[in-house]
Structure 1
Amino acid sequence: MGYLIAGVLVAAVLVARRLLVVVQVAGTSMTPAYHPGDRVLVRRGGAGRLRRGQVVVFQSAHMWGLAPPRLGATDWFIKRVAAIPGETVPDSVAARVDAPPGSLVPARRLVVLGDNPASRDSRAWGYVPYDRVLGVVIHRMPS
């Protein structure tokens, strides 16, 4: 019986490691919601189920196209989803992506904004490709 319980626990840990990751916040782009040093629990994947208002972790813009996202990298950003495919491109981002008024976010792209108005986000880099999203923040870890 003890081996069965141990086996179930090991399996549960392995599944959790595949589905969840802890990321430490760096920078002030998400203040007041998150502060430098905060740790957040991220549910991996699920880019196809994203909704406006969710906070996501994604690979930084300078890495797009160079390599697939990987754990252990120090180039992860955390921002709030401002628009998903099929929604109207926010006015604050439209000029950056050459979108006329009323344009829609294209397929497999996101608009992300930091909570801090001084954030570098889609207003600076444009759309975020879906395949660069690590996952959705589901919980702030206790300090």
Structure 2
Amino acid sequence: MRKIYLTVDINVNDDFFKEMTGLEKLNFGDILMDADYKDVWYDRGKIVADTILKTQADILIGYAVQTPKDIESLLKKISLNGLFISSVYLGNRKRWDAILAEYQKKYKDHTNWLHYTPEDIAEMYDKNLAELKEELTLNNILIVFI
């Protein structure tokens, strides 16, 4: 059975994935560069599913999903072909804290141009992460925090 690995906001070139050999590694941005897609943000799950279906090898796709809707549309399409997601990699709290610290610095330097406070960003992230985890759990998909 093919192995299908996805990440949420983690690059496939991250050190964690270096030892994962023998599989195709793509970031969502790479997929977009190879094809002409319209309404990308509304069809993200479908775009990732199309890529999975075109590939015969085991695959790791970075930045693959962002919302529960992405997961739903992805699963709907690949399950018709008897495929399932092996696991989804999420950044651990340490990774998120580093991203938030970087945003806080940018916010401090560019308050006039940024519309969301660091607190707003943290709240949105936590809410989205909870929704993603719930959707993944409901679909019996292994969640790996790295």
TM value normalised by structure 2? 0.26
The structure where helix makes up a greater share of residues is: 2
The structure where strand makes up a greater share of residues is: 1
TM value normalised by structure 1? 0.26
